[in-house]
Structure 1
Amino acid sequence: MKRVIIALLLLLMSFTLMPQRDYAATNSDKKVVLVIIDRVSLNDYIKYDAKNIQKLINNGTVGLMNVRNADGYVDASGYLTFGTGTRASAHGISSINLNVNENYTFGSAGDLYKLNTGNDYGNNNIVNIGISNLISSSESADYKITPGLLGQLLKDNNIPTYVFGNSDIASDNSITYRRYGTLIAMDEKGTAFGDVSENILKYDKNSPYFMRTDYNKILDYFKKYEKNGGFFVIDTGDTSRVDSYSSNVSSDISSKYEKYAISNADNFIGKLLENIDTSKDLLIVATPCPSKSDISSNNLLAPIIIYGPGYNGLTTSLTTKRDGIITNIDLAPTILSYFNIKAPVEMLGHPITNIKAQDKVNYLENLNSKVVSIYTARPIVLKSYVIFLIIILILYLITLFLKIGYLKYLKPVVLGVMIVPLSLLILSLFSPLSIYSSIIVLILITTLLLFLIKLIAKDEFNMLIVISLLTAIIITADIFTGAHLMKGSILGYDVIAGARFYGIGNEYMGVLIGSTIMGVMTFIQKYDNRANKLLGVLFFALVFMLMVLPQYGAKIGGFITGFMAFGVTLLLMSEIKINFKNLLLLFLIMIVLLTLMFIASMSMGTITHMAQTALIVKNEGITALYKIFARKLNMELTLIRYTIWSWVLIITIISLFILSYKPTGILKSIFKKNKYIYYGFFGSIVGMLFALAFNDAGIVAASTMCIYAFPPILIMLEREIKQNEI
């Protein structure tokens, strides 16, 4: 009995010692409760029968979230990204958050905060003691990051914020602080209100490190402060501790601890549901970082669940425009939108919206399997293809000069290499597949297409026409109908890498421009008449429009590259000489049109990449544009150095240099006899140069253009050499 009384007194003291917040009555008592259950997957909620969480899934909105941050997959950076609305980095002292009365090194956290910042923490009782370091490191980034932005905006609008819980672990007879929830809700000074101390933990001999979250205390805190509404961040912590401890035990024991942790969190959510009004309040269950085992198996998309008014289905946002997929930078704009606060431009995400759906869990599990299979197979399959492409090009050149009679064995392989991008598009219909299954099926599709095209086209020249035009037409049709094939292609988007989620990527941009130009030009070369030229011009216009329009390709780099590549080709078709003056005039017209689009985008909101860039420049000045170009240039230089695609371009350039001199005059002779192919080749070269200069992964686009620009030259070389021998 005495122990019970003492425990009650201690609990009462813990509340009375907490500073009280005096907030003027807000215009609403609405609440957003963000419950962090870290290091879990969607399947864990099903596997461990988390009934309350499953209720949220069945009756609310659920999705998969890209949780990459500026450091890859680092817990603290993931939490900070939730609060900044852009990928951020937190490490070392910049991630340490403490209650002000806790001791750290040589003094209390509150005093240390004042010493480090010169600021007072006011009515707040949680401080980030490394906020100065965090601000400094964020300012050194090549895009704007504001630590504490979400919390500051809520504070400025008189919406109270609270943080409870931690994921601390025991280490060398001391505590390793992991109070990352503060990074989501703190203001720009690095201060917040709540309890992230050891007071929120309890002894439990059945849990890793003999500690687990005291949900009763958190629930009592919540009941005390929820009356005036606000934003609550609750870090459950236990699943994170299980993941940290998993390396010390067997997988069976680790699963036992994980089940226990999820069960406790699930019971807590059940009690939360009894204390919130889901007709107006929003409950979000989010995972900032995957578990170690999920990271090792490339299962890198984390679950997010939203329960409240207007949410019932699958998540989506304008960031991804994908059913069931959002990003971690979408969370802050969602919370602000719920409180009717406009998100600043530097928050690159967009509010999470809802798409009606049935059988949500199965849909997401299938989607996740496809996404993981693409992410896993992509580097191996594409690297194998590029190596094979390079070997075939080199062998063809060697055979061309030494044993031309053997080219009959290599020509089908060269044509097959040109088919592969189309085959990779079709391969998406069979996803998900293992790496080796992907390679086998890819070879079978390519072989079958080559066989069918040979039956239709008869000779190599006609095969070049069919391969190029068929590739261009199918990609164009796919973009027009929603890019469903491209979304599932190994050569298309990588949702986990998160560079692009919709529109057309650099790989297929290069394929589309290259196949369109060379397909149309080889067709006109063989069937030269006015009607075919007009059809070619119209097809150029259609491809270009679909590639750049926001609702289709949405590619700014595609606008620049396509305009110059198609423009130069059309000028040559019109018998207009390409000199410096005409090229400069074409470039200036492109700049004027791009500028007009840029200005128009400033009034469109942040719906497209261009519109978002325009708004950033409008708010931050022209220096923001400089930073964007600098970042893209840095990425381009890095890719040129390290990506294997660079070798496709290098081998092509070396080959063209050799062919310009030996056999003497042969290249000039080919282009003289086939002027339209020369026009297409020259236009493609211009496109490659502009792809390199104006795309953040332009080396990839330039290299995929080579797939259609160079092989036709090789095949005509063989014809020319044979004719000369006769």
Structure 2
Amino acid sequence: MCIAMLFSLASGNSAYAAPKGKVIVIVANRMGMQQLLEIQVLKSELEKRGYAGLMNIRGSKGTSDVRSYASIGWGSRAYLDAEDVDIRTKDLLEQDVFKRRTAMEPMDINNIGINTIKAKALEGEYSVFPGMLGEELKNNGLGISVVGNADTDMEKVRYSALMAMDKDGNVPSGEIEDINKPDSRMPFGIATDYEKLKKYTQEYYEKSEVTIVELGDTYRLDAYRPYLNDKAYGIMQKNIYKSANDYIGYVLGSLASENDRVYVLAPHTRLADYKNYQRLAPIMIFDGEESGIAYSDTTRREGVIGNIDVAADILDYFGIRSELASGKPIEAKPKAAALSYLEKEYAKIASTYQVRIPALYTYAVFEMLLWISVFICIMKKDRVKSKYFNILSKSLQFTGVVPFVMLIEPAFGIVSKAWTVAFILAVSAVIYFVMRRTLKTDLDRLIFLSVLNGAGILCDAVLGQEMIKRSILGYDSIIGARYYGIGNEYMGILIGAALLGVSGLLQKGKIKKSAAAAILVVTMAILGFPKIGANVGGLITAATCFLLFVLKAYDVKIDFKRIILIGCFVVGVVVAMALLDIYVLGSKSHLAGAIQSIGEGGPQVIVQIIQRKIEMNYRLIGASIWSKVFIIALLIVGILFYRPFGILKTICSENPWLAKGWISIIVGSFVGFVVNDSGVVAAATSISFVIISALVLSMNKIVSEKTS
């Protein structure tokens, strides 16, 4: 682990080449990777050069076309709705509307809804600067243009202007009106006039450093799909792909120089793909002879980037480092059979996303029902036979194996949802059977479960989190709440496992207090280290409850002064990690980004962070099954201290080290709940180590009394 951390320290930031030419962004909205590869010129070009990737399309507070377009251009997850966007052109009457609303001079293309958009942006979950890309290019003397639209016969769809506009809603040049032609055989009776599109693309390519081109037909095809049978859809699709192939071939083969960078991307997937849990959009980048798959520090996952990375990458191409962008530059990672790799990765991501909610819901409900059943049996202990307590004890211990198996399951490359569930159940049963045969006492088994889960999480974290990234108890690229490090589910498990493990080993006399403290320090360091665990809330939680345990281990009385000491220790640890990240590692993890945002935005950013955490936890308390798990665990533990009379108090007096561990875990659960975006998840998974061990030992006590 130490060697891996040293390698992480040694790895510096990626270097990016100075710009050599211009940038062209071709927007083919509502297409998946498979559909984009049906455009033959793209597939042929990727065989020679270029790098492809899958792009998270989330905006703030949800996913939509307009939010993804805006997030691409603003470099942060944007919050707005389609009705907020009103893109007008150089028509004099339309310019008058812009003047009236903004008291500013219009340009070629103007968003007269800019004031509404700015107001709406403040309601989002993230700090965002509307018009970031256009503003930064303007401030650096670089031009940007927009060509094309995705208009239908019912609405004007000109979201590409959101990508290019400056902070005032202006795009200095472009053509978004004179671009389509009537065609009764095409969706909505409208088709992109590709001869005009070529003409305007060349015109504005010569005028601007960045040209954004909306193909339009691909969006119209997907929007019109509900009105078509398969035959009509196939004919239209063939014609649209043929025209797109001709246009993209023109850009890559004739227009763009060898020094230019060309992006081909879809801000949103096809609606059919979205409903089928395939919710990552394709992106392809052609820049010189670079090849492989796309990668960015936003996700730290090969082949997966965020939509917020595109603007940061364009700015980086021109040597511009913007503090307004949350995204990170994109780079090419060499990869043999890149497209095959992306296909398999996408299949696993979609499978994990699809099975995640039902599997975790079932697991959580089973846990709760089992806990309640055990609790009722304990309350009615005189009427319950010892053999039923033994069965329930075994079932509780079996649930402790499942999180570890969920962690290692991705290493076996299973894609099928049914086989994933079958694997988890089968391997959990095998591990449990071996544990029962090998270890003789339940306390030994509880310690083993803690060590198994804790060591598994730590090893995977140090080795690159390849299993956590794909685990159904981890996180996934589609949700996009977290892309790397140790997520809140496994953070809670790690903290609970670490405290129960060391307290159990101390109770058995297997380790000394100094060794226990060292284990907790290493766990905390890995959990919070920006290039490994990268969990700020987990770092705060671990620093609090681990120090509490160490103080109790050395019989230090916890009074007001000690509480202040713990608070200072937590602040010191967090600040040290932030400084390490900003000035040594330069990895710009969540913590470093938050600290720098606070430095630039002041107290308002702190308020936004706190507000986001409160809103997230408030939503989860009402909606998440984990809130029920946490509440039931607290109720059961609380009642067991009093009924049956003194049973848990007796266990605590007989196992003082376990009691100290339990108290520390409970405190950690509350801290984790408060300081994390989805803190109720971490609280539930950590306190499960208290409830499982407390119930098992309580049943053992009852069975022992019955036997005697």
TM-score (norm 1): 0.91
How much does 1:628 deviate?
A: 0.9
SS in 2 for 1:586: helix
**Equivalent residue for 1:110?**
95
Q: How is 1:545-624 mapped onto 2 (pairs within 5 angstroms)?
A: 545-599=525-579, 601-603=581-583, 605=586, 607-624=588-605
Aligned residue for 1:288? 267
**Counterparts in 2 of 1:160-171, with a 5 A limit?**
160-171=143-154
Q: How does 1:181-196 map to 2 (within 5 A)?
A: 181-196=160-175
> Which residue pairs with 1:381 in the alignment?
359
The offset of 1:580, in angstroms, is 3.6
Q: CA deviation at 1:655?
A: 0.9
1:45 maps to 2:31: no
In the TM superposition, residue 51 of structure 1 has moved relative to its aligned partner by 2.5
1:644 aligns with 2:622: no
Secondary structure of the structure 1 residue equivalent to 2:23: strand
- Structure 2 residue 121 is matched with structure 1 residue 120: no
Separation of aligned partners in 1, 2:541 and 2:327:
27
- 2:649 counterpart of 1:668: yes
- Contact kept, 8 Å, 1:431 with 1:488, in 2: the verdict is no
Structure 1 CA distance for aligned equivalents of residues 206 and 530 of structure 2: 44
2:59 maps to what in 1?
A: 69
**Structure 1 residue 45: Cα displacement:** 2.7
Encode CA deviations 1:646-669: one digit per residue, 9 max, x unaligned. 111111111122212112222111
Q: Which residue of 1 aligns with 2:91?
A: 101
Aligned to 1:223: 202
- Counterpart CA distance in 2 for 1:220 and 1:49 is 21
1:365 correspondence with 2:355:
no
1:295-331 deviations in Å (ceiling 9; x for gaps): 1101100000010136311111110111000000001
- Is the contact made by 1:568 and 1:683 (CA closer than 8 Å) also made in structure 2? yes
For each residue in 1:97-124, what CA deviation from the matched residue of structure 2 results, as whole angstroms up to 9, or x when unmatched? 122228xxxxx32222222222221xx2
Q: How far has the Cα of 1:355 moved from its partner? A: 0.5
Which shifted more, 354-363 or 432-441? 432-441
3-state SS of paired residue (1:482): coil
1:436 aligns with 2:418: yes
Q: Which amino acid aligns with 2:180?
A: L
Q: Which moved more, 1:385-394 or 1:430-439?
A: 430-439
- 2:39 and 2:244 in contact (8 A); partners too: no
Does structure 1 conserve the Cα–Cα contact (< 8 Å) formed by 2:204 and 2:211? no
Contact map agreement 2:66 2:82 (CA 8 A) in 1: no
Change (3 A) 1:256 1:194: farther
**Residues 56 and 232 of structure 1: CA distance in aligned 2, closer, same or farther (over 3 Å):** farther
Q: Which residue of 1 aligns with 2:611?
A: 630
CA drift at 1:49: 4.8
Quick check: 433-442 or 376-385, which moved more?
433-442
Change (3 A) 1:278 1:674: farther
SS of 1:202's equivalent in the other structure is strand
Aligned pairs for 1:482-521 within 5 A: 482-521=464-503
- Listed one character per residue, the Cα deviations across residues 166-188 of structure 1 (whole Å, up to 9, x for unaligned) are 001113xxxx1001111111122
Moved more, 270-279 or 74-83: 270-279
- Contact 2:60/2:125 (<8 A) preserved: no
Q: Bigger CA drift: 28-37 or 367-376?
A: 28-37
Report deviation, 1:458.
Answer: 2.6
CA contact (8 A) 1:599 1:614 kept: no
The alpha-carbon deviation at position 400 of structure 1 amounts to 2.2
- Where in structure 2 are there 5+ consecutive unaligned residues? 1-17
**Other-structure match for 2:15:** none
Match for residue 78 of structure 2 among 85, 88, 91? 88
TM-aligned CA deviation for residue 432 of structure 1: 4.0
Q: Is the 8 A contact 1:40 1:290 kept in 2?
A: yes
1:130-182 Cα distance to aligned partner (Å, 9 max, x none): 112112212343543222121111112121111110001113xxxx1001111
Where does residue 5 of structure 2 map in the other structure?
none
CA distance in 2 between partners of 1:657 and 1:323 (Å): 46
1:721 maps to 2:702: yes
Distance (Å, rounded) in 1 between the aligned partners of 2:684 and 2:704:
31
Cα distance in 1 for partners of 2:184, 2:206 equals 35
2:21 counterpart of 1:30: yes
Paired residues for 1:390-429 under 5 Å: 390-402=368-380, 403-405=384-386, 406-429=388-411
Kept in 2: contact 1:96–1:180 (CA 8 A):
no
Higher mean C-alpha deviation, range 418-427 or range 276-285? 276-285
- Conserved in 2, the CA contact under 8 Å of 1:29 and 1:228? no
Aligned length: 685
**Greater Cα radius of gyration, structure 1 or 2:** 1
The 1:596–1:473 alpha-carbon spacing in structure 2 relative to 1, beyond 3 Å, is: closer
Q: Does 1:322 align with 2:301?
A: yes
Which amino acid is the alignment partner of residue 398 of structure 1? I
Supply the AA of the counterpart residue of 1:153. Answer: E
**In 1: Cα distance, 2:434 partner to 2:236 partner:** 57
The verdict on how the C-alpha distance between 1:577 and 1:83 changes in structure 2, with shifts beyond 3 A counting, is same
Q: 2:326 aligns with which of 327, 345, 348?
A: 348
Amino acid across the alignment from 2:28: I
Q: Deviations over 1:193-212 (max 9, x none)?
A: 44544420123333212221
Contact 1:404 1:718 in 2 (8 A): no
RMSD: 2.0
Shift of 1:254: 1.9
Range with bigger deviation, 596-605 or 68-77: 596-605
Deviations 1:229-288 (A, max 9, x none): 511000000010000110001234323322321221121011112334443211000110
